[in-house]
Structure 1
Amino acid sequence: MTAIDGQPPPGAREITTGQANRVWHTGGPAPYILKHYTDPGRAANEAAALTLLAHHQAPAPRLLAADPTTTPAWTAQQAIQAEPVPASELPRLLARPLAAIHRIPGPHAGRLAGARHHPTWPAYLHDRLGAYTAAAPRLAQAAARLHQAVDTALLETVEPRLLHHDLQPGHLIQQPDGTHLLLDWELAAYGDPLSDLARLAVRLHLPDPLLALAHQPSSPHTERRIKLYWHIHRLADTAYSTGPRQHA
């Protein structure tokens, strides 16, 4: 196999789907996915996430090579032959892979690499709310209410766990043997696993975030938290109206 250098080799087929990144499928006896990033921080974060996931034998593609320091930053990942899971099946079929991912502890809150680390989960949420307000000052009043909600939600004891943090249709695939893998880890972060489910509820346009808890343990405290995160994710999408992937 020719060494991977971050450049699309002859015959590579571009499969970019309209996001800011460019993606190619490289064929041959050892096919792989080459991804170029406009934000090198996201390249560093995805490489760190895939390395961690491989260490824990979690359901994700293997990282073959990466260089977040070049222009453009890039990763090369295992090419997977599989089919996306229908959106209607996502909440049910995500339960097992998420359980494996959410068992992985983190040393801080926030992204794994390429961005500021936070000592606690509430500190990360306050930072994100501040970023959304800076991007859309008209949302300052709504953000202030969420700042207050974060302070009263008893989140100080949340132990950060690995989050995919971009759950949406197309990111869970089923392999021929029936097992499932999660793709696209550039927004991975450490935090409260309920934030993953809240973001899924937003991506699926669920009218109530509690619907995302149908296949998860629930309690009044978890229900309050997922509702809070649901409001935060919706505020983020409003602040960054150019698309849902801009804010994590």
Structure 2
Amino acid sequence: MTCACKGIRTCPICESRGKSQIFNNDNTDVDVYLYCPSCQKGWLEGKTCHPNHIGTSIEFPGIFIKQDFVSETEEANISSKIYQTPFVESQSGRRKQDFGPKVNFKKKKLKCGNFCGLPEFSKDLHDRMLKLDILTDFVPVEQCHLEYSPERGSSIDPHFDDFWVWGERLVTLNLLSDTVLYFVSDEHPNVEVQVPMFQRSLIVVYGAARDKWKHGIHRADVKKTRLAVTLRELSPEFSKGGKKMDEGKILLDIALTFKGQAVGTTTNAR
């Protein structure tokens, strides 16, 4: 069997051939703060429910969670439509589908390639997102589906999503199972903030959580198969008033046809 892991990223396949796993859950020196959506704070090893928290807390702005954003029936329908399209092997035991422009992040080059729009089913999701105060002006230009599986040891290392092309808000619909999105920052060494990602919930990462903290998913927190439907908006450079706004408008006109097919292997992992 082969895998798509490159650089420091690993999965059980390449680890069985001697590659060392860099990121894991074995660091006992980390103080784990559990995020509470109600008070928007992280609580050190928090074991109690809001509002009965005890112990040390830290402010953690930049997270919005809407539980039960889709119903069980909608979840089943969306998942069925996603699985009608073949996945491409990705790194760290994941599989992916991309609906977006082809981006070379290192060279800061972007082109439409085979991009023909976001998938049809996401139009209803986007219409519903616009009814949320935090997303009233959210215009997605890229959509990525990532499948996580415990059998493949799926995870994602802590990282920043690109700032050159992707904008302020990262929006993810979490399907099929619960998991945990964790955050780390060089400004807060030995601190990890764990944010719950509930099944059928929508999570928006923005502000400090977007640009000050790296986010990732531990292998141990993928208990069952999970689908992440992530939508991204354009950065100010590609938006109205930006120096690449004409290029951005072309991309948005394509994206919002909602007639897209997965574009296959691209460099859109981040």
| TM value normalised by structure 2 | 0.26
Larger strand proportion of the pair: 2
Larger helix proportion of the pair: 1
- Higher RCO structure (Cα 8 Å, ≥6 apart): 2
